[in-house]
Amino acid sequence: MSQPVVVSEGLCKWYGKVVGINELTVDIPPGVTGLLGPNGAGKSTLIKLLVGALRPSRGKLQVLGQKVWRNRDLLAHIGYCPDHDGVHEDLSGTEFVAFLARLSGVPADKANRRAEETLDRLGLADARHRPIGHYSKGMRQRAKLAQAIVHQPDLLLLDEPLTGCDPLARVQLVKIIKELGDEGKVVIVSSHILHEIEAMTDEIILLYKGQVLANGNIYRIREMIDAHPHKIEIHCDDSRALAKYLVGDQSVHSLAFSNDNVVTVQTRMPDQCYPLIANAALDNGFKISGLNSPDNNLQSIFKYLTEDRSPEGVAQRGTTGGKR
């Protein structure tokens, strides 16, 4: 699929006087897209609109080229992993997943086999015949993901799927979500934890108070925040000598020292500055033991985009919002 999977224009959802989604206009393409924002940003509301659990108050919304509200045929092509625990605790893992597989259109004679295969893939082979009421939180999350993918949907909507998982389970689930994207599935996964989204995809939608602050590639968004120079932290055996080499170049905006072995460069021209640092090491024999950009991540992007929501601040940041 080359066309956007989700198309919304002026989408709004109100709960009485409370605004859940406010004039949201965005196109979501195939692949894995991270839906990022703090609690209350509108992530769950948007996912429930996409799955047809909520009716839009105003605006246009299409999923896989079809309207969503009261479209039962479309639901067979969507997998939904909610943020709450809506599981039947007396059912075994296999029974739970097979039951929901049948509701999603899987024939009865294939539902059990599909359920067991999916639970095996998610690391629940040894627990699939145990009641879900005896599962840990992380195991329940994997069972919920299993029921979302068992019918092999075209679109997966995953609302905070890593909540409650231990570190090993998180690594496994991130790997599976990335695999699903590589297999051609369209995955929209929400989280308020920045590094979780970064581990799954570079394509993000930043939500704040029901509006899109920015969407697209993480690094492209960072480039557009021109009010904030990029920071490059360099660990070097002679940071002051390295700084003397760098200071005269037009790509270097400023320099700061943390200690004798660490210098932080600020630049508005990172594509020129990184080769400059490499050439400095090669030409002068500097030993660089570490190189990273402490603000080239979602944490800094989110901070920059939300620290000033005044009209002047929005105008200064330019075109980070809107369509890709």
Tens of pLDDT, residue by residue over 128-156, are 999 999 998 888 888 999 999 999 999 99
pLDDT at 63 over 60: yes
- Cα(116)–Cα(233) distance, integer angstroms: 48
CATH topology assigned to domain 229-292 = Alpha-Beta Plaits (3.30.70)
Fold equal for 6-222 and 229-292:
no
Mean pLDDT of 1-25: 89
pLDDT at 89 over 90: no
Mean pLDDT of 116-127: 92
3-state helix, strand, coil in the chain (%, to 5): 40, 25, 35
Strands 155-159 and 186-191: parallel
Question: By percentage, how much of the chain surpasses pLDDT 90?
Answer: 38
Length of the chain as a residue count: 324
Give the pLDDT of residue 39: 79
DSSP lists the bridge partners of residue 7 as: 27, 62
Give the pLDDT of residue 30: 87
Distant-in-sequence, close-in-space partners of 210: CB < 8 Å, separation ≥ 6: 13, 19, 20, 21, 22, 24, 41, 42, 45
**pTM for the full model?**
0.72
DSSP lists the bridge partners of residue 256 as: 264
The CATH class given to the 6-222 domain equals: alpha beta
| Domain ranges for the chain | 6-222, 229-292
Tens of pLDDT, residue by residue over 193-252, are 777 788 888 888 988 889 998 888 877 776 666 556 778 889 988 888 889 889 889 889
Q: DSSP string covering 200-256, please? A: H-SEEEEEETTEEEEEEEHHHHHHH-TTS-EEEEEEETTHHHHHHHHTTSTT--EEE
Give the residue carrying structure tokens 């079809």.
Answer: 66
Mean pLDDT of 99-114: 93
pLDDT at 289 over 90: no
132 within 8 A of 89, measured Cβ to Cβ? yes
Tens of pLDDT, residue by residue over 161-197, are 887 777 777 888 888 888 888 888 899 999 877 777 8
